[in-house]
A = this chain, B = another copy of it.
Amino acid sequence: MSDDQEAPLINGVEHKICEVLPCVDDDYGGVIVEMKTPMDAKSFVAALRYSFEQWRSQGKKGVWLNLPLSHVNLVEPAVKEGFQYHHAEPTYLMLVYWIPKAESTIPLNASHRVRVGAVVLNHNKEILVVQEKYGTLRGSGNWKIPTGVVDEGEEIFAAAIREVKEETGIDTEFLEILAFCQTHESFFAKSDLFFVCLLRPTSFDIQKQDLEIEAAQWMRFEDSASQPITHKNELFKAIHRICSMKMEKSYSGFSTQHITTFFDDKLGYLYLNKQEDMK
């Protein structure tokens, strides 16, 4: 059905005016419409109604409608035809329509942002810390570990390595997730997951990034732990306490195992405690 450019036959009559909108089947009995060429609102509504006749007769369930920013003229007609918003990214808006009478099984939108904090300890019991040009600690004199946002499609451990490199120029290897923290309403209604990653440095000369970073240094771990912010903030305090135990080899976080996942045999990374024999 997808991208079928032939005029369809209805009751033996060739309908040249309307064609099914360009679509592909999804894995859940629905279709995904991907608008690529420009279309005026009137032709769009006619084609959409014609398409719905076909989809209903085929027993289709969810209809996804991907409208690039360039097709913004079709948003209002789509909503007037009964579509709801599902999610949006800078360049497109995804709408959805649930055909069956039965309860919708349309999956929920992404709910969490994921961030990393990078603990980089060297052999001199120094921790890699920065002062940022922006953010709530700006100008406070406090030093913090490098932090940043995990991109869509990026591994958590890779994001930690990338952020350290970007902010300080230091190369690192991932060792463990020491802990993680979940908070809510970090960004409109969305929640936040913050993963504290332990990294081993493989280079030591700091080359700080200028855009966001005011200063970067190797700081004696004891000095970092005794900063006012460390005493005041429970997460900061917990990270230092975990690091202390880690340096005494009395703490075990989660390290990675590359696996195929639960249902769909996708590749992914499992983070688990490998302190014990996991062979």
Contacts and interface: CB of A to CB of B under 8 A. Distances in A.
Listed residue (A153, A189, A235) with the most chain B CB atoms within 10 angstroms of its CB: A235
A103 to B, nearest CB: 7
Interface string A87-124: 11111111000000001010111111110010000000
Contact of A153 (B108, B191, B194, B269): B191
A152 interface: yes
Interface string A163-184: 0000000000000001111111
Contact of A194 (B114, B117, B250, B261): B261
A181 to B, nearest CB: 5
B79 A181 contact: no
A113 B114 contact: no
A88 B90 contact: no
A272 B112 contact: no
Nearest to A68: B85
Contacts of A234: 259-261, 270
Nearest to A258: B234
Contact of A275 (B84, B151, B252): B252
Interface residues of A, number: 91
Nearest to A114: B112
B110 A113 contact: yes
Per DSSP, are chain A's interface residues mostly helix, strand or loop, or mixed? mixed
Contacts of A251: 273, 276
Interface of A: 69, 72-73, 75-76, 79-80, 84-94, 103, 105, 107-114, 117, 134-137, 147, 149-156, 178-191, 193-194, 211, 233-236, 238, 241-242, 245, 250-254, 257, 259-273, 275-276, 278
A261 B88 contact: no
B109 A112 contact: no
Contacts of A109: 88-89, 110, 113
A52 to B, nearest CB: 19
A85 B93 contact: yes
A182 B75 contact: no
A76 B77 CA distance: 11
A211 B104 CA distance: 12
B113 A153 contact: no
